[in-house]
Structure 1
Amino acid sequence: MEKEVEANEPSVEADSAILVDAETGKVLYSKKPDIILPPASMTKIMTEYLVNEAASNGDISWDDEVTISDKTIEISQDYDLSNVPLREGESYSVQELYEAMAIYSANGATVALAEHVAGSESDFVDMMNQKAEELGMEEYEFVNSTGLNNQSMNGLHPEGTGDDVENMMSARAMAILTYHLLDEYPEALDTASITEKTFKEETANVLMENWNWMLPGSLEEHLDYEGVDGLKTGYTDLAGNAFTGTVEQGGTRYISVVMRTGTRMARFEETAKLYDYGFNEFSSAEVIADGETFEDVSTLPVTKGKEDSVPVSAKDSLSVLLEGGDAEAVTPTTTIDEELLNEDGELEAPVEAGTEIGTVSIDGQANSEYLKDNMASSQEVPLVIEEEVEKAGWLSLTARSVGGFFGSMWNSASSFVKGLF
């Protein structure tokens, strides 16, 4: 689904592009986000995700010494590709190889990590495709861990994949993957934001300069963009130039993807257009205040309590990213959990203060688009009971019952008498 072009939207010179709010998955800009294109080395974002997941699960350790296969050594010695040289008998940790992959896009280091996590790159490719399905990425196909065209690997590509094939993915799928990486493993940015680092200073002594030239203090200072701290570039003959980036300013973080730009520089220049658009045209606005009450449900009736009703309010505040920051464009709507009420729509005492009895959600964003359908549900905060309501004593309940009985009798008698006339 591609949004209609608005007058103030940028003209992005890329075959496909997307800009997303990293907190909610709200799409702020898109251009043909679902066409399938090669992501090239942006593929390594999936490898980063799976390495972080394996470390988080305790399946591997960042300090693990990685066994380097003959295949990996051979790939790492190909200087037509981005690489750091790996040698037989040398000790390499997961952390060192991960840095080489994330900073310098080192392909041999990437294959070594894939083999360490899964046992073989072929099995790792299976993991990549399974994880993509799990994350809700609909347009993708992984054939290797690096993003290279298999032909570039000179017969060393994963078994079971074609000789002349390449990973394929949409900009939306790449944004979904990046959303999950940042949400689940935000520490990945600690490495992605390193502008340069020496790999194995005592032996290889390779200065790894980050290919992300939007990083402050990068190789190309004129491309620096305040707040950029990730994520991954990509280039192959088939893919052209591509870039998945992320930027944070003033508490707002964006994820961007541009695919098939004209030049290596252009992928950053087009990304800057997206960031300018995001920061200039959108701002966060508080649409629900902590403790706010709402006209449609300001109180709820209580039965068997010392009080007949209890006030309810929003448990938390909620801010959303809006074009122009116009908070009046949205309307809070309350929803009560009917399972907490009796058949007469009442709470039954005793009732504790702070009990969640529903939600307050945000309407008025009908034209909003999200990365995945399950992100499109209105943002919400809990609706809670403000005050404790104790259960009424036996005498009080009896008095109410008797009063109710005689009140009912009086109403019946009154209706009877009126009926005579």
Structure 2
Amino acid sequence: MVNKLFYRKYFAASLAMIMFLSLFAGINKAEAETVGLDVKASGAILVDADTGMILYEKNSETALGIASMTKMMTEYLLLEAVKKGKVKWGQEYVVSPELSKMSHDEDLSNVYLRVDAKYKVEDLYAAMAIESANAATIAIAEIVGGSEAKFVEMMNNKAAELGLEKYKFVNSTGLNNSDMLKHFPEVVGEPDEENIMSAKDVAALASRLLHDFPEVLETSSIPEKIFAKGTEDEFVMDNWNWMLEGYEDIADRYPNYQQFVYDGLDGLKTGSTPFAGYNFTGTASRDGQRFISVVMNTGSQSERFRETRKILDYAFNNFKKEEIIPKHYQVKGKKTLPVTKGKEKQVKIYTKDAVNMVVKNGEKDNFKTSLILDKKKVNKQGELTAPIKKGEKVGTLSIQPKESGNLGFLTKEGKITVDVIAAEDVEKANWFVLMMRGIGGFFGDLWGGISSTVKGWF
């Protein structure tokens, strides 16, 4: 009896040990499923930056507090205004007494701004992106929008334009409105309201920011910079993103930063308030692959970076860029299209470019294609009309998973497609050839009718 009990305990302990070791051994293997990715956050998402394809998500469509991740929208609107020539990097902003007072609020992230002092837009932008300086952010909002209230309206309008779905902006900074009211008499929204977005929409905003203004990474990747260097306002700005490399000179202030440093990570924005918790939108690139991750409402400053590492490790260990469709690929059964009024009666078609996309290890062949012809180019009989030029677009090829429901995107419009083009020229036939074809067709139809009638007699 004792021996049996001993062996049962021994077997159970051995089994438990095997399961424990298997768990850790399997974390970095390709077969690890996203359901096993235990991310300690109220909302999270992982996407391929190139396509917006969702690779992992947890409660990604619930609107949560975003805190200073808000500043990504402020960055977008500023960079857009600069691109359109409405704002210049060298133009100066004069600080009001209210804004100066706010910049000296020790409870908020800031760089010090003096009353009536002038600061360049490029310096205010750096302060917002690196130090997450709130007063500098409001200054940018006033530069771009004319006022904080008008800028908030622009933020919500831009969110709608970008196709975001679950969001609400009440200020340019991400602070709770109660912090704004300490220094300004009026706010947009309720006195204790904050900005909210879903993790999916935060990732979509980050994706558009990277695609439309990739230069944002030049600033977001700076670990330390001096604001107003050489003046009485000189201020050492430390990036709140501890996953960046380059903190060696300030290791005494952040002695444990090295545990968070992540190879290839160069952005994007942190944020925290009591309401929002600790958030982080991260992005990292290795060997031509870039991923975007978002974690929302984690428990601490350190945890948001640990959870981001967990998500990005999952991405780089389990996904890689593969050529799914080669250049000049031809769809089986649709290698040519019929042509009307041409010297040739058909034309070869193929894809203009190769399709490279991030896929999970071992799932390269788990996709199917769908040819969609341009309705403006083909008639009701599915024919192209000559003349046709080599390289002329005739449709698109859509790439989809063989099993439905496996391929999601940040926006409704998201999909993987490639142009399908004509592989050769087809000249228009001259009038005589067209006439003879018409005559031949007429007599062919006539003879066909007679033949049918004669057959009917017998």
TM value normalised by structure 1: 0.92
CA distance in 2, matches of 1:48, 1:84: 17
Q: CA deviation at 1:82?
A: 1.3
Aligned mate of 2:213, from 185, 198, 204: 185
Spell out structure 1 runs of 4+ moving beyond 6 A.
none
Tell me which residue corresponds to 1:346. Answer: 383
Q: Does 1:88 align with 2:115?
A: yes
Query: What is the aligned length?
Result: 415
Tell me which residue corresponds to 2:404. Answer: 366
Distance of aligned partners of 1:253 and 1:325 in 2 relative to their CA distance in 1, 3 Å threshold: farther
Equivalent residues in 2 for 1:16-415, closer than 5 Å: 16-153=43-180, 155-157=182-184, 158-203=186-231, 204-218=233-247, 220-324=257-361, 326-364=363-401, 366-367=404-405, 368-375=407-414, 378-415=415-452
Q: CA deviation at 1:298?
A: 1.0
- Give % identity: 47
Q: CA deviation at 1:105?
A: 0.8
Q: CA deviation at 1:179?
A: 1.6
Q: CA deviation at 1:372?
A: 2.2
Distance of aligned partners of 1:414 and 1:208 in 2 relative to their CA distance in 1, 3 Å threshold: same
CA distance in 2, matches of 1:335, 1:134: 27
CA distance in 1, matches of 2:454, 2:277: 91
Q: CA deviation at 1:406?
A: 4.2
CA distance in 2, matches of 1:282, 1:372: 21
Q: CA deviation at 1:160?
A: 4.2
Distance of aligned partners of 1:392 and 1:149 in 2 relative to their CA distance in 1, 3 Å threshold: closer
Specify the SS of the correspondent of 1:129: helix
Listed as ranges, the gaps of 5+ residues in structure 1 are none
Q: CA deviation at 1:413?
A: 4.3
Distance of aligned partners of 1:145 and 1:395 in 2 relative to their CA distance in 1, 3 Å threshold: closer
For the aligned residues, what is the CA RMSD?
2.1
Distance of aligned partners of 1:360 and 1:207 in 2 relative to their CA distance in 1, 3 Å threshold: same
Contact 2:321 2:357 in 1 (8 A): yes
Specify the SS of the correspondent of 1:339: coil
Q: CA deviation at 1:189?
A: 1.1
Distance of aligned partners of 1:388 and 1:211 in 2 relative to their CA distance in 1, 3 Å threshold: same
Task: Output the amino acid matched with 1:285.
Answer: E
Q: CA deviation at 1:11?
A: 0.8
Distance of aligned partners of 1:275 and 1:12 in 2 relative to their CA distance in 1, 3 Å threshold: same
Of residues 127-136 and 186-195 in structure 1, the stretch that sits farther from structure 2 once superposed is 127-136
Of residues 196-205 and 133-142 in structure 1, the stretch that sits farther from structure 2 once superposed is 133-142
Distance of aligned partners of 1:347 and 1:38 in 2 relative to their CA distance in 1, 3 Å threshold: closer
Distance of aligned partners of 1:417 and 1:162 in 2 relative to their CA distance in 1, 3 Å threshold: closer
CA distance in 2, matches of 1:93, 1:178: 25
Tell me which residue corresponds to 2:20. Answer: none
CA distance in 2, matches of 1:295, 1:63: 57
Listed as ranges, the gaps of 5+ residues in structure 2 are 1-31, 252-256
Contact 1:39 1:167 in 2 (8 A): yes
Contact 1:67 1:116 in 2 (8 A): no
Distance of aligned partners of 1:64 and 1:412 in 2 relative to their CA distance in 1, 3 Å threshold: same
Distance of aligned partners of 1:314 and 1:250 in 2 relative to their CA distance in 1, 3 Å threshold: same
TM value normalised by structure 2: 0.85
Distance of aligned partners of 1:412 and 1:41 in 2 relative to their CA distance in 1, 3 Å threshold: closer
Of residues 340-349 and 12-21 in structure 1, the stretch that sits farther from structure 2 once superposed is 340-349
